[in-house]
Structure 1
Amino acid sequence: MLREVRAVRYVTALREGGSLPGLVAADDGALYVAKFRGAAQGRKALVAEVVAGELARRLGLRVPELVRAEVDPVIALGEPEQQVQELVQASGGTNLGMAFLSRAFGFDPLAFPVDPLLAGRVVWFDALIGNVDRSWRNPNLLVRQGELWLIDHGASLIFHHNWPRAAASARRPFDAGDHALLRFGPRVAAADAELAGLVTEALLDEVLALVPEQWLADEPGFGSADEVRAAYTAQLAERVAGPRDWLPEVGA
């Protein structure tokens, strides 16, 4: 289970994200970027954040700590903007928190070169989860102390928006033409040899177990949250099983 914190103060809205995440202070004294389940993208964006983020972590990629952020709507009462108040009021209960990385700055490919092996791992991972939201326009990458960090995976796992047709998308090719790291010659084939064998059903089950029950409840077509978890595992296991002709042919 993800570690749980309680948001005690809404600090400020972060307008870089379309879902209007907010910076909150928690009862453990730390700051977190809160992604709210009441946002237009809904709870499935939070599920994608946990599944993708925790899978990336287990594959050796850097992702800020993800936590269960318990939110009482009263924390937004002092916020003057009505849109923020309405969002927080619609998000009482369990939301997602991502540890705020102090002294981190947005990735700039002209200022921060990336090793082709690391670039290959990131592109491979994004291809696995179908992440279309790491383009040169919006990298969703941070740099802190010379290290590359991955953030914002809510737009990945597109298949879960249409479960009846999910199986048919397991081999869908990944278009890396706009990927933020393409200019660095990502060694995708080398990443495939390194990472594919790590993505086992046991690992996927471990990751899915971290998704809060309430984000999976009452999913149409499923009888329980565990059935939904099993569907995610089956979908990703099928994608990685091969042949992995969905991988982009870039690098070496």
Structure 2
Amino acid sequence: MLNYLSAELWRMTRRRTACLGWGIYLLLTFLTGLTLRGNPPSECLLAFRNFMVIGLYVAFPLADWAGGGVDRAGSLTNEVSFGLPRLRIYLGKLSAALLVGVVLFLLTTVAFFLGALTPEAVLGTAGEERQLVGVGLLLAMCNSLPRYVGAVSLAYFLAFTLRPAGVGTVLYYLYITIGELTLAAVRVMDMGVMGHLINRLAETVRPFLLSNTYFSYGTEIASSARGDGAWPLGNSWLTGALWMGLTTGLGLLLFRRREIR
């Protein structure tokens, strides 16, 4: 498995167009941070937390970089014909996407704050405030990382499973931009028992939407009512685990039944 993962990582680095695209993305991230230069670190942290929603939108290009299009290139057919287990193929490419995604996540953070903060601003901030900003940044990263894992798993499942290739792209962005907002806002009135069941179902899935931590869907109010300060962080890790488990399980099931030509 490690040899296969290494080969996938090497293959990803050979795609120069994709590497150039991610370089441009990091440059734009740096320029975004540059617009905040001169602001206190606490304000830069707040802006970065709002900026982190972009991770849901770059998940699909990342997943496509790792696994999308391999069947069209013929390499997937060669791998199956060579006798590689389909479990290794699917999980190997997904692992490569997730590993590179973590690196990109860290580089995004560095690029943003390199643009936003000056040494004078950091050194001129009181030690207690620097500590609070550092803890806030760590919590924000730990809160977002599992949701990015869930988003990449979903994107990879769609890119790897659906043909033609554009179908997965359309479905992913429709779900992220419209589907989750619809699930978050759905309220059925005057439909009796059926309406009550729909509303209860919506309330059940709402805490596990990928964008839940970036947009207020009412779960923060419920969290405060319980007095559970750890709820947002624990909910994020549970959400990421659920999305990864469900999409990976379904992806493996469909891949095992798929005829490779």
TM-score normalised by length of structure 1:
0.27
| Bigger Rg, which one | 2
Greater strand share, structure number: 1
Q: Which has the higher contact order (CA 8 A, sep 6+)?
A: 2
Greater helix share, structure number: 2
TM-score normalised by length of structure 2:
0.26
